[in-house]
Structure 1
Protein backbone atom coordinates (compact mmCIF):
# COMPACT_ATOMS: atom_id res chain seq x y z
CA UNK A 1 0.00 0.00 0.00
CA UNK A 2 1.64 3.27 -1.08
CA UNK A 3 2.09 6.04 1.44
CA UNK A 4 -0.72 8.58 1.48
CA UNK A 5 0.24 12.15 0.59
CA UNK A 6 -1.02 14.46 3.33
CA UNK A 7 0.78 17.75 2.69
CA UNK A 8 0.23 20.45 0.10
CA UNK A 9 4.01 20.86 0.04
CA UNK A 10 4.35 17.56 -1.82
CA UNK A 11 5.96 18.12 -5.23
CA UNK A 12 3.08 16.49 -7.12
CA UNK A 13 0.54 18.78 -5.48
CA UNK A 14 2.75 21.79 -6.15
CA UNK A 15 2.68 20.87 -9.83
CA UNK A 16 -1.11 20.63 -9.68
CA UNK A 17 -1.41 24.07 -8.09
CA UNK A 18 0.86 25.55 -10.77
CA UNK A 19 -1.59 24.41 -13.45
CA UNK A 20 -4.54 26.29 -11.96
CA UNK A 21 -4.34 29.15 -14.48
CA UNK A 22 -3.67 29.48 -18.19
CA UNK A 23 -0.26 31.08 -17.74
CA UNK A 24 0.91 28.26 -15.52
CA UNK A 25 -0.38 25.64 -17.96
CA UNK A 26 1.41 27.32 -20.85
CA UNK A 27 4.69 27.55 -18.93
CA UNK A 28 4.55 23.96 -17.67
CA UNK A 29 3.18 22.46 -20.88
CA UNK A 30 0.62 20.53 -18.88
CA UNK A 31 -3.04 20.51 -17.93
CA UNK A 32 -5.38 18.87 -15.42
CA UNK A 33 -7.86 16.09 -16.16
CA UNK A 34 -10.48 15.55 -13.49
CA UNK A 35 -12.44 12.33 -13.07
CA UNK A 36 -11.94 8.69 -13.97
CA UNK A 37 -13.99 8.97 -17.18
CA UNK A 38 -11.92 11.81 -18.65
CA UNK A 39 -8.67 10.14 -17.59
CA UNK A 40 -9.78 6.90 -19.23
CA UNK A 41 -10.66 8.72 -22.45
CA UNK A 42 -7.28 10.44 -22.46
CA UNK A 43 -5.37 7.18 -21.99
CA UNK A 44 -7.40 5.40 -24.67
CA UNK A 45 -6.70 8.31 -27.04
CA UNK A 46 -2.97 7.91 -26.48
CA UNK A 47 -2.45 11.09 -24.45
CA UNK A 48 0.69 11.29 -22.32
CA UNK A 49 -0.05 11.47 -18.59
CA UNK A 50 2.74 12.53 -16.22
CA UNK A 51 1.04 11.09 -13.14
CA UNK A 52 -2.37 10.48 -11.57
CA UNK A 53 -3.55 11.36 -8.07
CA UNK A 54 -6.27 9.27 -6.44
CA UNK A 55 -8.18 10.41 -3.37
CA UNK A 56 -7.79 8.07 -0.42
CA UNK A 57 -10.66 5.59 -0.42
CA UNK A 58 -11.86 6.48 -3.94
CA UNK A 59 -13.48 3.82 -6.10
CA UNK A 60 -10.93 2.26 -8.43
CA UNK A 61 -12.10 1.97 -12.06
CA UNK A 62 -8.83 2.94 -13.78
CA UNK A 63 -5.79 1.57 -11.95
CA UNK A 64 -5.33 -1.44 -14.24
CA UNK A 65 -5.58 0.78 -17.34
CA UNK A 66 -3.04 3.21 -15.89
CA UNK A 67 -0.69 0.36 -15.03
CA UNK A 68 -0.82 -0.90 -18.61
CA UNK A 69 0.01 2.64 -19.79
CA UNK A 70 2.87 2.86 -17.24
CA UNK A 71 1.36 5.93 -15.58
CA UNK A 72 2.41 6.41 -11.91
CA UNK A 73 -0.47 6.69 -9.43
CA UNK A 74 -0.20 8.36 -6.00
CA UNK A 75 -2.79 8.31 -3.22
CA UNK A 76 -3.68 11.65 -1.60
CA UNK A 77 -5.77 12.49 1.43
CA UNK A 78 -9.10 13.61 -0.05
CA UNK A 79 -9.26 16.97 1.74
CA UNK A 80 -5.69 17.78 0.68
CA UNK A 81 -6.41 16.92 -2.95
CA UNK A 82 -9.47 19.16 -2.85
CA UNK A 83 -7.36 22.03 -1.48
CA UNK A 84 -4.76 21.52 -4.19
CA UNK A 85 -7.29 22.10 -6.96
CA UNK A 86 -9.12 24.82 -4.98
CA UNK A 87 -12.55 23.19 -5.18
CA UNK A 88 -15.29 22.98 -2.58
CA UNK A 89 -16.40 19.53 -3.71
CA UNK A 90 -14.93 16.07 -3.61
CA UNK A 91 -12.25 15.14 -6.13
CA UNK A 92 -11.60 11.42 -6.59
CA UNK A 93 -9.20 11.25 -9.53
CA UNK A 94 -6.90 13.89 -11.00
CA UNK A 95 -4.29 13.57 -13.74
CA UNK A 96 -1.56 15.86 -14.98
CA UNK A 97 -1.39 15.45 -18.75
CA UNK A 98 1.08 16.66 -21.33
CA UNK A 99 -0.53 19.56 -23.12
CA UNK A 100 -0.50 19.53 -26.89
CA UNK A 101 2.25 21.99 -27.76
CA UNK A 102 1.29 25.12 -29.64
CA UNK A 103 2.41 24.39 -33.17
CA UNK A 104 5.23 26.59 -34.43
CA UNK A 105 5.29 28.52 -37.68
CA UNK A 106 7.49 25.85 -39.25
CA UNK A 107 5.10 22.99 -38.46
CA UNK A 108 2.97 22.25 -41.52
CA UNK A 109 -0.80 22.42 -41.49
CA UNK A 110 -3.10 19.64 -42.57
CA UNK A 111 -5.69 20.12 -45.31
CA UNK A 112 -8.31 21.69 -43.04
CA UNK A 113 -8.17 24.17 -40.16
CA UNK A 114 -10.75 25.67 -37.81
CA UNK A 115 -10.20 29.32 -36.89
CA UNK A 116 -11.85 30.58 -33.68
CA UNK A 117 -12.76 34.26 -33.85
CA UNK A 118 -13.33 35.18 -30.19
CA UNK A 119 -15.31 32.05 -29.29
CA UNK A 120 -15.28 32.09 -25.49
CA UNK A 121 -17.77 29.65 -23.97
CA UNK A 122 -15.92 26.55 -22.65
CA UNK A 123 -18.74 24.21 -23.61
CA UNK A 124 -18.77 25.50 -27.18
CA UNK A 125 -14.98 25.37 -27.42
CA UNK A 126 -14.91 21.78 -26.20
CA UNK A 127 -17.67 20.75 -28.60
CA UNK A 128 -15.88 22.37 -31.54
CA UNK A 129 -12.54 20.70 -30.78
CA UNK A 130 -14.14 17.30 -30.16
CA UNK A 131 -16.11 17.49 -33.41
CA UNK A 132 -13.13 18.71 -35.41
CA UNK A 133 -10.78 16.00 -34.15
CA UNK A 134 -13.50 13.41 -34.70
CA UNK A 135 -13.76 14.49 -38.35
CA UNK A 136 -10.01 14.37 -38.88
CA UNK A 137 -9.26 18.08 -38.40
CA UNK A 138 -6.30 18.56 -36.07
CA UNK A 139 -5.45 22.25 -36.61
CA UNK A 140 -7.34 24.51 -34.20
CA UNK A 141 -6.44 28.20 -34.51
CA UNK A 142 -6.96 30.57 -31.56
CA UNK A 143 -6.96 34.29 -32.30
CA UNK A 144 -7.90 35.87 -28.98
CA UNK A 145 -5.97 35.88 -25.69
CA UNK A 146 -9.20 35.10 -23.81
CA UNK A 147 -9.72 31.83 -25.67
CA UNK A 148 -8.45 29.11 -23.36
CA UNK A 149 -8.55 25.56 -24.69
CA UNK A 150 -6.68 24.17 -21.69
CA UNK A 151 -9.20 24.87 -18.94
CA UNK A 152 -10.82 21.98 -17.14
CA UNK A 153 -14.25 22.84 -18.55
CA UNK A 154 -13.00 22.83 -22.15
CA UNK A 155 -11.05 19.61 -21.64
CA UNK A 156 -14.11 17.97 -20.12
CA UNK A 157 -16.44 19.18 -22.89
CA UNK A 158 -13.97 17.98 -25.54
CA UNK A 159 -13.66 14.56 -23.87
CA UNK A 160 -9.88 15.11 -23.89
CA UNK A 161 -9.82 15.72 -27.68
CA UNK A 162 -7.82 18.92 -27.01
CA UNK A 163 -4.87 16.65 -26.22
CA UNK A 164 -4.97 15.33 -29.80
CA UNK A 165 -5.28 18.70 -31.54
CA UNK A 166 -2.55 20.92 -32.98
CA UNK A 167 -3.17 24.21 -31.21
CA UNK A 168 -2.06 27.34 -33.04
CA UNK A 169 -2.12 30.93 -31.85
CA UNK A 170 -2.18 34.28 -33.61
CA UNK A 171 -2.52 37.75 -32.13
CA UNK A 172 -5.62 38.62 -34.17
CA UNK A 173 -8.10 36.89 -36.51
CA UNK A 174 -6.92 39.09 -39.39
CA UNK A 175 -3.33 37.97 -38.87
CA UNK A 176 -4.45 34.33 -38.87
CA UNK A 177 -6.48 34.66 -42.07
CA UNK A 178 -3.70 36.47 -43.93
CA UNK A 179 -1.19 33.79 -42.96
CA UNK A 180 -3.53 30.97 -43.96
CA UNK A 181 -4.17 32.60 -47.33
CA UNK A 182 -0.41 32.86 -47.90
CA UNK A 183 -0.19 29.15 -47.12
CA UNK A 184 -2.67 28.43 -49.90
CA UNK A 185 -5.82 27.96 -47.85
CA UNK A 186 -9.27 28.70 -49.23
CA UNK A 187 -10.94 30.69 -46.44
CA UNK A 188 -14.61 30.10 -45.65
CA UNK A 189 -16.30 32.30 -43.04
CA UNK A 190 -19.75 31.76 -41.56
CA UNK A 191 -22.31 34.53 -41.19
CA UNK A 192 -26.07 34.58 -40.71
CA UNK A 193 -26.16 37.58 -43.08
CA UNK A 194 -24.44 35.81 -45.98
CA UNK A 195 -26.17 35.46 -49.36
CA UNK A 196 -24.39 32.21 -50.28
CA UNK A 197 -25.73 28.99 -48.83
CA UNK A 198 -23.04 26.73 -47.43
CA UNK A 199 -24.14 23.80 -49.59
CA UNK A 200 -23.53 25.74 -52.81
CA UNK A 201 -20.09 27.20 -52.10
CA UNK A 202 -17.77 26.43 -55.06
CA UNK A 203 -14.66 24.96 -53.42
CA UNK A 204 -11.53 24.67 -55.54
CA UNK A 205 -9.98 21.59 -53.91
CA UNK A 206 -7.34 23.56 -52.00
CA UNK A 207 -6.96 23.23 -48.21
CA UNK A 208 -9.86 24.89 -46.37
CA UNK A 209 -9.86 27.16 -43.31
CA UNK A 210 -13.28 27.48 -41.66
CA UNK A 211 -13.76 30.60 -39.53
CA UNK A 212 -16.40 30.54 -36.80
CA UNK A 213 -17.26 33.52 -34.65
CA UNK A 214 -18.22 34.77 -31.24
CA UNK A 215 -21.47 33.46 -29.73
CA UNK A 216 -23.09 36.91 -29.88
CA UNK A 217 -21.31 38.94 -32.54
CA UNK A 218 -20.25 36.24 -35.00
CA UNK A 219 -17.23 36.61 -37.26
CA UNK A 220 -15.86 40.17 -37.35
CA UNK A 221 -16.45 42.32 -40.43
CA UNK A 222 -12.71 42.82 -40.97
CA UNK A 223 -12.31 39.04 -41.18
CA UNK A 224 -15.33 38.58 -43.46
CA UNK A 225 -13.75 41.00 -45.94
CA UNK A 226 -10.68 38.75 -46.23
CA UNK A 227 -12.58 35.49 -46.71
CA UNK A 228 -12.83 33.79 -50.09
CA UNK A 229 -16.38 32.72 -49.28
CA UNK A 230 -18.91 33.96 -46.72
CA UNK A 231 -21.65 31.38 -46.23
CA UNK A 232 -24.64 30.61 -44.06
CA UNK A 233 -26.47 27.48 -43.04
CA UNK A 234 -30.07 27.57 -44.35
CA UNK A 235 -32.62 27.91 -41.55
CA UNK A 236 -36.38 27.44 -41.50
CA UNK A 237 -39.10 28.84 -39.28
CA UNK A 238 -38.35 31.61 -36.84
CA UNK A 239 -34.96 30.27 -35.73
CA UNK A 240 -32.41 32.97 -36.50
CA UNK A 241 -29.20 31.13 -35.66
CA UNK A 242 -27.63 27.98 -34.27
CA UNK A 243 -25.35 27.46 -31.30
CA UNK A 244 -21.78 27.98 -32.56
CA UNK A 245 -20.75 24.46 -31.53
CA UNK A 246 -23.64 22.89 -33.45
CA UNK A 247 -23.14 25.17 -36.46
CA UNK A 248 -19.43 24.37 -36.60
CA UNK A 249 -20.17 20.64 -36.63
CA UNK A 250 -22.58 21.04 -39.55
CA UNK A 251 -20.13 23.22 -41.47
CA UNK A 252 -17.19 20.90 -40.83
CA UNK A 253 -19.02 17.85 -42.10
CA UNK A 254 -20.45 19.52 -45.18
CA UNK A 255 -17.29 21.39 -46.16
CA UNK A 256 -15.09 18.33 -45.61
CA UNK A 257 -17.36 16.34 -47.91
CA UNK A 258 -17.52 19.09 -50.56
CA UNK A 259 -13.78 19.57 -50.37
CA UNK A 260 -13.15 15.89 -51.03
CA UNK A 261 -15.63 15.86 -53.90
CA UNK A 262 -13.91 18.91 -55.41
CA UNK A 263 -10.61 17.03 -55.28
CA UNK A 264 -12.25 13.98 -56.86
CA UNK A 265 -13.85 15.98 -59.67
CA UNK A 266 -11.04 15.51 -62.24
CA UNK A 267 -10.81 11.83 -61.41
CA UNK A 268 -14.54 11.31 -61.86
CA UNK A 269 -14.23 12.90 -65.28
CA UNK A 270 -11.41 10.54 -66.15
CA UNK A 271 -13.47 7.58 -64.99
CA UNK A 272 -16.42 8.62 -67.10
CA UNK A 273 -14.14 9.09 -70.08
CA UNK A 274 -12.86 5.56 -69.67
CA UNK A 275 -16.23 3.86 -70.30
CA UNK A 276 -15.02 2.15 -73.47
CA UNK A 277 -12.27 0.36 -71.51
CA UNK A 278 -14.36 -0.74 -68.55
CA UNK A 279 -14.85 -4.33 -69.64
CA UNK A 280 -11.13 -5.00 -69.95
CA UNK A 281 -8.90 -5.97 -67.00
CA UNK A 282 -6.65 -3.15 -65.81
CA UNK A 283 -8.79 -0.44 -67.38
CA UNK A 284 -7.70 3.17 -66.99
CA UNK A 285 -10.48 3.91 -64.48
CA UNK A 286 -8.85 1.70 -61.88
CA UNK A 287 -5.55 3.52 -62.33
CA UNK A 288 -7.33 6.85 -61.99
CA UNK A 289 -9.05 5.74 -58.80
CA UNK A 290 -5.77 4.59 -57.27
CA UNK A 291 -4.08 7.87 -58.16
CA UNK A 292 -6.95 9.81 -56.61
CA UNK A 293 -7.06 7.85 -53.38
CA UNK A 294 -3.29 8.00 -52.92
CA UNK A 295 -3.58 11.61 -51.80
CA UNK A 296 -6.16 10.97 -49.08
CA UNK A 297 -5.89 9.86 -45.48
CA UNK A 298 -6.95 6.35 -44.48
CA UNK A 299 -10.31 7.66 -43.27
CA UNK A 300 -10.91 9.48 -46.55
CA UNK A 301 -9.85 6.45 -48.57
CA UNK A 302 -12.40 4.37 -46.70
CA UNK A 303 -15.11 6.97 -47.23
CA UNK A 304 -14.57 7.58 -50.93
CA UNK A 305 -13.24 4.18 -51.90
CA UNK A 306 -16.78 2.80 -51.74
CA UNK A 307 -17.99 5.72 -53.84
CA UNK A 308 -15.45 5.00 -56.57
CA UNK A 309 -16.17 1.29 -56.51
CA UNK A 310 -19.90 1.91 -56.94
CA UNK A 311 -19.20 4.28 -59.83
CA UNK A 312 -16.99 1.65 -61.46
CA UNK A 313 -19.77 -0.96 -61.25
CA UNK A 314 -22.37 1.47 -62.59
CA UNK A 315 -20.16 2.41 -65.52
CA UNK A 316 -19.49 -1.25 -66.25
CA UNK A 317 -23.21 -1.96 -66.43
CA UNK A 318 -23.79 1.04 -68.68
CA UNK A 319 -20.87 0.01 -70.85
Structure 2
Protein backbone atom coordinates (compact mmCIF):
# COMPACT_ATOMS: atom_id res chain seq x y z
CA UNK A 1 0.00 0.00 0.00
CA UNK A 2 1.50 3.32 -1.03
CA UNK A 3 2.17 5.92 1.65
CA UNK A 4 -0.03 8.96 1.77
CA UNK A 5 1.30 12.18 0.34
CA UNK A 6 2.66 14.67 2.87
CA UNK A 7 0.34 17.53 3.71
CA UNK A 8 0.57 20.52 6.01
CA UNK A 9 -1.64 21.13 9.02
CA UNK A 10 -4.50 23.56 8.44
CA UNK A 11 -4.16 26.27 11.10
CA UNK A 12 -6.40 28.99 9.66
CA UNK A 13 -10.12 28.73 10.55
CA UNK A 14 -10.93 30.62 7.34
CA UNK A 15 -9.16 28.12 5.12
CA UNK A 16 -11.69 26.70 2.58
CA UNK A 17 -11.40 23.23 4.15
CA UNK A 18 -12.14 24.57 7.64
CA UNK A 19 -15.00 26.76 6.40
CA UNK A 20 -16.61 23.76 4.68
CA UNK A 21 -16.59 21.75 7.90
CA UNK A 22 -18.02 24.72 9.80
CA UNK A 23 -20.88 24.98 7.32
CA UNK A 24 -21.74 21.30 7.84
CA UNK A 25 -21.54 21.53 11.65
CA UNK A 26 -23.85 24.55 11.78
CA UNK A 27 -26.37 23.30 9.26
CA UNK A 28 -29.34 21.46 10.80
CA UNK A 29 -31.62 21.02 7.79
CA UNK A 30 -33.17 17.62 7.08
CA UNK A 31 -32.19 17.88 3.41
CA UNK A 32 -28.45 18.41 3.92
CA UNK A 33 -26.35 16.56 1.34
CA UNK A 34 -23.17 16.36 3.43
CA UNK A 35 -23.08 14.86 6.92
CA UNK A 36 -20.40 14.65 9.59
CA UNK A 37 -19.42 11.29 11.10
CA UNK A 38 -17.32 11.15 14.28
CA UNK A 39 -14.86 8.43 15.26
CA UNK A 40 -13.16 5.78 13.18
CA UNK A 41 -15.51 2.95 14.17
CA UNK A 42 -18.54 4.88 12.98
CA UNK A 43 -16.80 5.98 9.78
CA UNK A 44 -15.85 2.38 9.02
CA UNK A 45 -19.42 1.21 9.68
CA UNK A 46 -20.75 3.88 7.32
CA UNK A 47 -18.27 2.88 4.61
CA UNK A 48 -19.21 -0.80 4.97
CA UNK A 49 -22.87 0.21 4.61
CA UNK A 50 -22.21 1.89 1.28
CA UNK A 51 -22.00 5.49 2.46
CA UNK A 52 -19.68 7.55 0.26
CA UNK A 53 -16.95 9.04 2.46
CA UNK A 54 -15.99 12.41 1.04
CA UNK A 55 -12.95 13.34 3.15
CA UNK A 56 -11.26 12.52 6.46
CA UNK A 57 -9.97 14.85 9.17
CA UNK A 58 -7.59 14.35 12.08
CA UNK A 59 -6.25 16.56 14.81
CA UNK A 60 -2.55 17.20 15.31
CA UNK A 61 -0.56 14.23 16.51
CA UNK A 62 -2.56 11.57 14.69
CA UNK A 63 -0.75 9.43 12.15
CA UNK A 64 -2.78 9.06 8.92
CA UNK A 65 -1.14 5.67 8.40
CA UNK A 66 -2.99 4.39 11.47
CA UNK A 67 -6.28 5.09 9.68
CA UNK A 68 -5.15 3.08 6.67
CA UNK A 69 -4.20 0.19 8.93
CA UNK A 70 -7.56 0.24 10.76
CA UNK A 71 -9.76 0.82 7.71
CA UNK A 72 -7.92 -0.08 4.48
CA UNK A 73 -10.93 0.73 2.29
CA UNK A 74 -10.50 4.42 3.17
CA UNK A 75 -6.95 4.57 1.80
CA UNK A 76 -7.98 6.59 -1.26
CA UNK A 77 -9.96 9.15 0.76
CA UNK A 78 -8.19 12.45 1.22
CA UNK A 79 -7.06 13.25 4.78
CA UNK A 80 -6.62 16.74 6.24
CA UNK A 81 -4.97 17.54 9.56
CA UNK A 82 -6.46 20.38 11.61
CA UNK A 83 -4.74 22.35 14.32
CA UNK A 84 -6.26 22.30 17.81
CA UNK A 85 -7.17 25.97 17.50
CA UNK A 86 -9.04 25.40 14.24
CA UNK A 87 -10.86 22.40 15.70
CA UNK A 88 -11.98 24.46 18.71
CA UNK A 89 -13.15 27.25 16.41
CA UNK A 90 -15.19 24.87 14.25
CA UNK A 91 -16.90 22.89 16.99
CA UNK A 92 -17.12 25.37 19.86
CA UNK A 93 -18.88 23.65 22.77
CA UNK A 94 -19.88 20.62 20.70
CA UNK A 95 -18.04 17.31 20.90
CA UNK A 96 -14.66 17.40 19.16
CA UNK A 97 -13.42 14.10 17.77
CA UNK A 98 -9.80 13.36 16.97
CA UNK A 99 -10.92 11.68 13.74
CA UNK A 100 -14.03 12.54 11.76
CA UNK A 101 -15.30 12.48 8.20
CA UNK A 102 -17.57 14.33 5.84
CA UNK A 103 -19.76 12.00 3.79
CA UNK A 104 -22.55 12.05 1.25
CA UNK A 105 -25.85 11.73 3.10
CA UNK A 106 -27.83 8.61 2.15
CA UNK A 107 -31.36 9.14 0.93
CA UNK A 108 -33.88 9.30 3.79
CA UNK A 109 -35.78 6.09 4.40
CA UNK A 110 -39.49 5.58 3.82
CA UNK A 111 -42.04 3.30 5.44
CA UNK A 112 -42.32 1.26 2.25
CA UNK A 113 -38.62 0.35 2.43
CA UNK A 114 -39.23 -2.58 4.76
CA UNK A 115 -42.69 -3.73 3.67
CA UNK A 116 -41.27 -6.97 2.28
CA UNK A 117 -39.20 -7.77 5.37
CA UNK A 118 -39.93 -10.38 8.00
CA UNK A 119 -38.47 -8.81 11.13
CA UNK A 120 -40.32 -6.81 13.75
CA UNK A 121 -40.62 -3.05 13.62
CA UNK A 122 -39.74 -0.92 16.64
CA UNK A 123 -41.78 2.29 16.89
CA UNK A 124 -40.51 4.99 19.25
CA UNK A 125 -43.41 7.28 20.09
CA UNK A 126 -42.19 10.56 21.53
CA UNK A 127 -38.76 9.24 22.58
CA UNK A 128 -36.48 12.26 22.31
CA UNK A 129 -33.24 11.44 24.12
CA UNK A 130 -30.79 10.74 21.31
CA UNK A 131 -28.75 8.42 23.51
CA UNK A 132 -31.80 6.22 24.08
CA UNK A 133 -32.72 6.21 20.40
CA UNK A 134 -29.17 5.23 19.45
CA UNK A 135 -29.06 2.44 22.04
CA UNK A 136 -32.37 1.08 20.73
CA UNK A 137 -31.09 1.12 17.15
CA UNK A 138 -28.06 -0.89 18.26
CA UNK A 139 -30.22 -3.40 20.15
CA UNK A 140 -32.68 -3.64 17.26
CA UNK A 141 -29.86 -4.37 14.82
CA UNK A 142 -28.41 -6.97 17.16
CA UNK A 143 -31.74 -8.75 17.68
CA UNK A 144 -32.79 -8.78 14.02
CA UNK A 145 -35.51 -6.14 13.95
CA UNK A 146 -36.44 -4.95 10.47
CA UNK A 147 -36.55 -1.23 11.17
CA UNK A 148 -36.97 1.56 13.71
CA UNK A 149 -39.62 4.24 13.20
CA UNK A 150 -39.34 7.57 15.00
CA UNK A 151 -42.45 9.59 15.92
CA UNK A 152 -42.08 13.05 17.43
CA UNK A 153 -38.38 12.50 18.10
CA UNK A 154 -37.30 16.11 17.66
CA UNK A 155 -34.83 14.99 14.97
CA UNK A 156 -34.93 16.41 11.47
CA UNK A 157 -32.79 13.64 10.02
CA UNK A 158 -31.75 10.19 11.21
CA UNK A 159 -28.23 11.07 10.05
CA UNK A 160 -27.92 13.60 12.83
CA UNK A 161 -24.33 13.63 14.08
CA UNK A 162 -25.43 12.78 17.63
CA UNK A 163 -27.53 9.80 16.53
CA UNK A 164 -24.74 8.42 14.37
CA UNK A 165 -22.50 8.45 17.45
CA UNK A 166 -25.14 7.01 19.79
CA UNK A 167 -25.95 4.16 17.41
CA UNK A 168 -22.26 3.38 16.77
CA UNK A 169 -22.91 3.92 13.07
CA UNK A 170 -25.64 1.28 12.92
CA UNK A 171 -28.17 3.88 11.82
CA UNK A 172 -26.55 3.38 8.41
CA UNK A 173 -27.25 -0.37 8.57
CA UNK A 174 -30.73 -0.67 10.10
CA UNK A 175 -33.53 1.18 8.26
CA UNK A 176 -34.54 4.07 10.50
CA UNK A 177 -37.38 6.32 9.42
CA UNK A 178 -38.85 9.58 10.70
CA UNK A 179 -42.57 9.63 9.92
CA UNK A 180 -45.79 11.40 10.99
CA UNK A 181 -47.90 9.45 13.49
CA UNK A 182 -50.93 9.28 11.17
CA UNK A 183 -48.83 7.86 8.33
CA UNK A 184 -47.44 5.17 10.63
CA UNK A 185 -50.90 4.18 11.85
CA UNK A 186 -52.14 3.92 8.26
CA UNK A 187 -49.04 1.93 7.27
CA UNK A 188 -49.40 -0.61 10.09
CA UNK A 189 -53.10 -1.00 9.32
CA UNK A 190 -52.48 -1.38 5.58
CA UNK A 191 -49.75 -3.97 6.14
CA UNK A 192 -51.88 -5.78 8.73
CA UNK A 193 -49.04 -5.72 11.23
CA UNK A 194 -50.18 -6.46 14.79
CA UNK A 195 -49.24 -3.77 17.28
CA UNK A 196 -47.99 -4.22 20.85
CA UNK A 197 -47.50 -1.36 23.29
CA UNK A 198 -45.47 -1.46 26.49
CA UNK A 199 -46.48 0.34 29.67
CA UNK A 200 -46.10 -0.42 33.37
CA UNK A 201 -49.86 -0.30 34.00
CA UNK A 202 -50.82 -2.78 31.27
CA UNK A 203 -52.26 -6.14 32.31
CA UNK A 204 -50.75 -8.56 29.79
CA UNK A 205 -47.28 -9.92 30.64
CA UNK A 206 -44.48 -9.30 28.19
CA UNK A 207 -44.29 -13.06 27.57
CA UNK A 208 -47.42 -12.79 25.43
CA UNK A 209 -45.16 -11.55 22.63
CA UNK A 210 -43.71 -15.05 22.35
CA UNK A 211 -47.02 -16.35 21.02
CA UNK A 212 -47.23 -13.98 18.04
CA UNK A 213 -45.69 -15.81 15.09
CA UNK A 214 -45.99 -13.11 12.42
CA UNK A 215 -43.96 -9.91 12.35
CA UNK A 216 -45.26 -7.20 14.62
CA UNK A 217 -44.74 -3.59 15.63
CA UNK A 218 -43.54 -2.97 19.18
CA UNK A 219 -44.32 0.57 20.32
CA UNK A 220 -42.49 2.27 23.17
CA UNK A 221 -43.21 5.75 24.47
CA UNK A 222 -41.12 8.10 26.56
CA UNK A 223 -40.76 7.34 30.26
CA UNK A 224 -42.62 10.52 31.15
CA UNK A 225 -45.58 10.43 28.74
CA UNK A 226 -45.77 6.87 27.52
CA UNK A 227 -47.42 5.83 24.25
CA UNK A 228 -49.74 8.37 22.63
CA UNK A 229 -53.50 7.87 22.73
CA UNK A 230 -53.68 7.51 18.94
CA UNK A 231 -51.26 4.58 18.97
CA UNK A 232 -52.80 3.01 22.09
CA UNK A 233 -56.16 2.82 20.34
CA UNK A 234 -54.83 0.51 17.61
CA UNK A 235 -52.86 -1.81 19.92
CA UNK A 236 -53.60 -5.51 19.68
CA UNK A 237 -51.48 -6.29 22.75
CA UNK A 238 -50.85 -4.10 25.79
CA UNK A 239 -47.93 -5.52 27.73
CA UNK A 240 -45.96 -4.79 30.85
CA UNK A 241 -42.62 -6.01 32.14
CA UNK A 242 -42.68 -7.59 35.60
CA UNK A 243 -40.37 -5.71 37.97
CA UNK A 244 -39.92 -4.67 41.58
CA UNK A 245 -42.70 -2.61 43.14
CA UNK A 246 -40.03 -0.15 44.24
CA UNK A 247 -39.24 0.74 40.61
CA UNK A 248 -41.63 2.98 38.70
CA UNK A 249 -40.30 2.30 35.19
CA UNK A 250 -37.38 1.00 33.18
CA UNK A 251 -35.31 2.99 30.76
CA UNK A 252 -36.92 2.79 27.33
CA UNK A 253 -33.85 1.25 25.74
CA UNK A 254 -33.84 -1.51 28.36
CA UNK A 255 -37.54 -2.16 27.73
CA UNK A 256 -36.89 -2.41 24.00
CA UNK A 257 -34.15 -4.98 24.59
CA UNK A 258 -36.40 -7.09 26.81
CA UNK A 259 -39.27 -6.99 24.29
CA UNK A 260 -37.01 -7.95 21.39
CA UNK A 261 -35.47 -10.77 23.41
CA UNK A 262 -38.96 -12.12 24.12
CA UNK A 263 -39.60 -12.05 20.39
CA UNK A 264 -36.61 -14.32 19.77
CA UNK A 265 -38.58 -17.09 21.49
CA UNK A 266 -41.41 -16.76 18.96
CA UNK A 267 -38.95 -17.47 16.15
CA UNK A 268 -37.42 -20.46 17.96
CA UNK A 269 -40.66 -22.19 18.98
Partner SS state of residue 254, structure 1: helix
1:55 and 2:59 are equivalent in the alignment: yes
Corresponding residue number in structure 1 for 2:122: 114
Structure number, greater radius of gyration: 1
1:103 and 2:112 are equivalent in the alignment: no
Give CA-to-partner distance per residue, 1:181-200, whole Å, 9 cap, x none: 21121111111111101102
Distance 2:189 2:88 in 1: 47
TM-score under structure 1 length normalisation: 0.71
Corresponding residue number in structure 2 for 1:252: 260
* Structure 1 residues 88 and 252: alpha-carbon distance in aligned structure 2, compared to 1, 3 A threshold: closer
Q: CA deviation at 1:204?
A: 4.2
* Structure 1 residues 147 and 256: alpha-carbon distance in aligned structure 2, compared to 1, 3 A threshold: farther
Q: CA deviation at 1:67?
A: 4.4
Q: CA deviation at 1:105?
A: 4.9
1:219 and 2:223 are equivalent in the alignment: no
CA RMSD of aligned residues (A): 2.7
Distance 1:21 1:89 in 2: 13
* Structure 1 residues 247 and 42: alpha-carbon distance in aligned structure 2, compared to 1, 3 A threshold: same
1:68 alignment partner, one of 65, 69, 73? 73
Distance 2:31 2:53 in 1: 17
Give CA-to-partner distance per residue, 1:46-67, whole Å, 9 cap, x none: 6542221112323554233344
TM-score under structure 2 length normalisation: 0.83
Q: CA deviation at 1:179?
A: 1.3
Say if 2:149 and 2:179, in contact at 8 Å, map to a contact too.
yes
Say if 1:54 and 1:75, in contact at 8 Å, map to a contact too.
yes
Say if 2:151 and 2:179, in contact at 8 Å, map to a contact too.
yes
Q: CA deviation at 1:68?
A: 3.1
1:6 and 2:11 are equivalent in the alignment: yes
* Structure (1 or 2) with the greater helix fraction: 1
Q: CA deviation at 1:213?
A: 0.6
Q: CA deviation at 1:45?
A: 6.1
Distance 1:252 1:141 in 2: 15
Give CA-to-partner distance per residue, 1:255-290, whole Å, 9 cap, x none: 2432x24xx6xxxxxxxxxxxxxxxxxxxxxxxxxx
Say if 2:223 and 2:249, in contact at 8 Å, map to a contact too.
no
1:152 and 2:161 are equivalent in the alignment: yes
1:167 and 2:154 are equivalent in the alignment: no
Give CA-to-partner distance per residue, 1:106-150, whole Å, 9 cap, x none: 434322211110101121111001111122224111111514643
* Structure 1 residues 106 and 35: alpha-carbon distance in aligned structure 2, compared to 1, 3 A threshold: closer
Corresponding residue number in structure 2 for 1:142: 150
List alignment gaps of at least 5 residues for structure 2. Answer: 1-5
How is 1:169-208 mapped onto 2 (pairs within 5 angstroms)?
Answer: 169-172=178-181, 174-201=182-209, 203-208=211-216
Partner SS state of residue 58, structure 1: coil
Corresponding residue number in structure 1 for 2:3: none
How is 1:22-41 mapped onto 2 (pairs within 5 angstroms)?
Answer: 23-24=28-29, 26-41=30-45
Say if 1:22 and 1:151, in contact at 8 Å, map to a contact too.
no
User: Which stretch shows the higher mean deviation, 14-23 or 158-167?
Assistant: 14-23
Tell me the number of residue pairs that the alignment of Structure 1 and Structure 2 aligns: 259
Q: CA deviation at 1:37?
A: 4.5
Corresponding residue number in structure 2 for 1:82: 88
